[in-house]
Amino acid sequence: MSVIDREILALCRDVTENVILPRYRNLADHQIEDKGGNDPVTIADRESEAALSEGLEKLAPGLPIVGEEGAHADPAVLERLKGPCWIVDPIDGTRNFASGQPPFGILIAQADEGVAQSGWIYDCLSGRFCAAHRGKGAFVGGEQITAIPTGEDPAVAAISLIFMDEAKRAAMIDHVCQHYRLTDIPYCAAEQYPRLALGENDVSIFERTLAWDHAAGCLWLEEAGGKAARPDDGSPYRVDEWDRKGLVAAATPALWEEMAKRLNTLPA
């Protein structure tokens, strides 16, 4: 495990133990809010983002930070995604955390010129730690891994419909879902991406593609040999395309191609 990986792991552990878990199943009603569109935020999200930001500032003084909650409070923060920056989801899976259920985790990425260069995924309850650096492979707990499909027929798909408009949702149900064995949506990218590489899921669809949800996971999955890209044109995921919708992630390029083809032939 590299020096930076050990430092990020220590930071995630510290914030989990001292900030996040003390609030787990211990939230008052007034400590949970809705940012709009059934998108909850808790006091723990804000406390975690502050603690993570403080720790990351010590690791790379002056490097701009794009945190989910900071960007929600001030959308101008998103402009930082065009240059070198940290990207932080202080509690990925807030919906689960707020209801007292797993999974939830911490996502951190380092990006430059709109492209993730490093990414880390920490599961707050199990301690699973995934790390990736561009061109250097994907790791779980310090051991390099290669993505493996489930081997099932039909392939196992986690298809998120929650941010799609009504027409697209109906088209997905009628023309795509029937070709896969559907599995649960964990409402947590920190869980979904590991499932795709570790033989639990084959393919997943995301409509909303915000940087803090996907920067670390897309890089880690691709470094493991999977594929995460825009289905309409096959272009790689970029963190500075924050308004762009649609992303397919899969355990293998072939599984990605199959799903992208189905999506691109949906009726208008």
Annotated binding site for Mg(2+): 68, 89, 91-92, 213
CA angle, residues 143, 148, 150, in degrees to nearest 5: 135
Nearest to 219 by CA among 115, 142, 141, 128: 115
- Which residue numbers belong to the known binding site? 68, 89, 91-92, 213
Residues 6+ apart with CB under 8 A from 44: 19, 20, 23, 24, 27, 31, 91, 97
Distance in angstroms (rounded) separating the CA atoms of residues 214 and 241: 12
Q: How far are the Cα atoms of 31, 77, 87, 114, 143 from residue 80, in angstroms, in the given order?
A: 29, 6, 10, 9, 32
Based on its alpha-carbon atoms, the radius of gyration of the chain, rounded to whole angstroms, reads 18
Torsion from C-alpha of 186, 188, 190, 196, nearest 10 degrees: 40
Nearest to 260 by CA among 251, 171, 250, 225: 250
Q: Report residue 219: phi and psi, to 5°.
A: -65, -45
Distance in angstroms (rounded) separating the CA atoms of residues 86 and 66: 6
Distance in angstroms (rounded) separating the CA atoms of residues 168 and 268: 9
Distance in angstroms (rounded) separating the CA atoms of residues 85 and 118: 11
Cis peptide before 103 (omega within 30 of 0): yes
